[in-house]
Amino acid sequence: MDQFDQSLETLIEGAGWLAPLLFVLLHLFRPFFFLPVIVVCIAGGVLFGFIKGTLLSFIGLSLMSLVSYLLVIKFPKFRNKITRLKEKMFPGQTISVSQVMILRIMPFVHFHLLSLYLIDMAKSFKEYMYYSLLGLIMPAILYTAFGNVITELPWYLTAILFLFLGGIYLYIGKFNKTRSEEN
């Protein structure tokens, strides 16, 4: 990870005014390099500082959401592949927008899978992008600001954090189920 950060820092310093554009493009090409979102956002915080790093990560993740939408809509094979992953990960489950937003915070949940849930829930492209953008605010902020701290936590504190997020996820699911049964 340190070697990746140093290589990226050298590249960004040499890029000058193109650095922010290259960083946003890194978010778009991140899946091809098998880089988790958290690694790129941490690099953004290190290279550009908290505010600019968060803004650039948010832009990059937003563009990735747009690309996800286009991939799912334009390429049925891609949609089928993600749908199979959805059936493996959450068989027979309905997930709410709030739960998708919680899952977005978890670093290793598949980005396109969560986008598929939002696409299936949204009535239009505009609604999809609205929910997607809302769901990207917290990961961009948290990963950029606290990502380095999260990755350096001992394994048991990381496990507690994931259990806490999992608990919130389950609570929201039960709350939404209860609310839908009342209607």
Q: Is the pLDDT of residue 88 over 90?
A: no
End-to-end CA distance of the chain: 49
What does the pLDDT read at residue 24? 93
Confidence of residue 2 (pLDDT cuts 50, 70, 90): low
Closest C-alpha to 116, from 145, 174, 73: 73
- Which long-range CB contacts under 8 A does 77-85 form with residues at least 24 apart? 79/116, 82/110, 82/112, 82/113, 82/116, 83/116, 85/110, 85/113
For 5-17, letters b (16+ CB in 10 Å) and e give eeebeeebeeeee
Task: Report the C-alpha gap between 28 and 62 in whole angstroms.
Answer: 9
pTM (two decimals):
0.73
Q: Burial-class residue 60 by CB neighbours within 10 Å (0-12, 13-18, 19+).
A: buried
What pLDDT, in 10s, does the model give residues 41-72? 888 887 888 888 899 999 999 999 999 999 99
What does the pLDDT read at residue 130? 95
Confidence of residue 150 (pLDDT cuts 50, 70, 90): low
Q: Is the pLDDT of residue 165 over 70?
A: yes
Confidence of residue 1 (pLDDT cuts 50, 70, 90): low
What does the pLDDT read at residue 148? 58
CA dist 160 → 101, 140, 166 (Å) = 19, 21, 10
What is the helix (H) or strand (E) element at residue 144, kind and residue range? helix 125-152
At position 62, the amino acid (one-letter code) is S
What pLDDT, in 10s, does the model give residues 25-46? 999 998 888 788 888 888 888 7
Confidence of residue 171 (pLDDT cuts 50, 70, 90): confident
Mean pLDDT score of the chain: 83
Q: Is the pLDDT of residue 100 over 90?
A: no
